[in-house]
């Protein structure tokens, strides 16, 4: 028997003909498994003599003093968007005095999702922080089913059941549009974020709310949906100029997209803010280094990181604590682009 490798969740899943998630659910007593799948997994466990990690079994009653910060995005987005680094700083600050170890986990494909599932099923972490939440992301629901304390930076929808923290996205967007109207801008377009994310929908909703309240047009020609990247901002700005060449202002749902819009406007010979005013969202370091410096809605990103970590530690200490739904205020920072 020497040298024989111990069976793993992956081995059990292969023998049972199911996914690793199903095996994890069976191990953790979840009801969200069919009788047939449960029987197949239990038979595979018996046949392979699979024993869940002894450390994991011990963690049913003890702690690992470790949490996972999960970001379901690529390395390129992680490196190019100041938002993620600011959240990480905030989380680290909040954990510094607690003695809790932070594990950064990127989930970019199914294999990485499977590895995270195995980590969670084995209780190798006490809880999970999830950043960049998409409406159909299976992770929040999976973590909730497994009974692991989980806190989101953002939310899947206004009906989010898990604890979450986010900035006042709709209010911040509306404030940006009202500023543009106060400056005499007549045709105000928007570069919206992905509509499968609550943050994208909320910021678009704030734009609609402000324009509708003033009796201004807010139809399709003035909306370009993009992906929170600089290249996406360029493409969206190009499309808006083609659809509404007389526009004189644009609100972009992120500083990164606003920076892309500025590049496209410069390429087309449009002066900012003389011809077209531009506002972004986040007030990241990018806003201070564009040409001209960017007016932006400041959201307290580091505070979001600090708060989600604090709420998670509270839920780990008291699993019966009520879920928290926190909204942090935003502030418009006016610079030369508007």
Q: Quick check: pTM over 0.75?
A: yes
- The pLDDT value given to residue 35: 82
The band of 108, judged by pLDDT with boundaries at 50, 70 and 90, is confident
Where is average pLDDT lowest: 93-107, 150-164, 210-224, 225-239? 93-107
Report the distance separating Cα 161 and Cα 319, nearest Å.
15
pLDDT at 74 over 80: no
Residue 56: pLDDT above 60?
no
Task: Over range 103-115, report the average pLDDT.
Answer: 82
All domains of the chain in start order, with CATH: 9-51 (1.10.260.40), 66-165+302-327 (3.40.50.2300), 169-298 (3.40.50.2300)
Flag whether pLDDT at 295 surpasses 60: yes
Among 53-62, 130-139, 150-159, which stretch is predicted with the lowest mean pLDDT? 53-62
The predicted pLDDT at position 59 comes to 41
Binned at pLDDT 50, 70 and 90, residue 68 comes out as very high
Percent of the chain with pLDDT over 90: 62
Work out the average pLDDT over 311-316: 94
Task: Tell me the pLDDT band of 180, cut-offs 50, 70 and 90.
Answer: very high
Question: Does residue 128 carry a pLDDT above 50?
Answer: yes
Per-residue model confidence (pLDDT) at position 332: 98
Share of the chain above pLDDT 70, in %: 94
């Amino acid at each position: 028997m020497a040298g024989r490798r111990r069976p793993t969740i992956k081995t059990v899943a292969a023998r049972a003909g199911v996914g690793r998630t199903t095996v994890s659910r069976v191990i953790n007593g979840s009801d969200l498994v069919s009788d047939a799948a449960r029987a197949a997994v239990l038979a595979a466990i018996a046949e392979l003599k699979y024993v869940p990690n002894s450390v994991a079994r011990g963690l049913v009653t003890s702690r690992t003093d470790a949490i996972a910060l999960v970001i379901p995005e690529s390395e390129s987005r992680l490196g190019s968007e100041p938002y993620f680094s600011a959240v990480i700083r905030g989380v680290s600050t909040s954990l510094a005095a607690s003695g809790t170890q932070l594990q950064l986990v990127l989930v970019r494909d199914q294999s990485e999702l499977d590895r995270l599932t195995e980590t969670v099923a084995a209780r190798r972490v006490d809880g999970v922080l999830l950043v960049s939440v998409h409406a159909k992301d299976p992770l929040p629901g999976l973590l909730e089913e497994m009974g692991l304390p989980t806190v989101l930076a953002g939310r899947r929808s206004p009906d989010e059941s898990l604890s979450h923290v986010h900035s006042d996205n709709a209010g911040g967007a509306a404030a940006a549009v009202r500023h543009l109207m106060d400056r005499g801008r007549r045709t105000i377009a928007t570069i919206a974020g992905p509509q499968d994310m609550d943050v994208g929908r909320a910021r678009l909703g704030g734009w609609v709310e402000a324009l509708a309240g003033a009796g201004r047009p807010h139809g399709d020609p003035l909306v370009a949906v993009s992906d929170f990247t600089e290249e996406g901002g360029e493409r969206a700005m190009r499309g808006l100029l083609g659809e509404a060449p007389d526009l004189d202002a644009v609100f972009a749902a992120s500083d990164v997209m606003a920076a892309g819009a500025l590049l496209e406007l410069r390429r087309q010979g449009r002066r900012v803010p003389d011809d077209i005013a531009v506002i972004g969202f986040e007030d990241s370091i990018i806003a201070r280094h564009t040409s001209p410096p960017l007016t932006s809605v400041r959201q307290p990103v580091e505070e979001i990181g600090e708060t989600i970590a604090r709420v998670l530690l509270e839920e780990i200490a008291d699993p019966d604590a009520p879920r928290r739904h926190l909204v942090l205020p935003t502030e418009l920072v006016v610079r030369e682009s508007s």
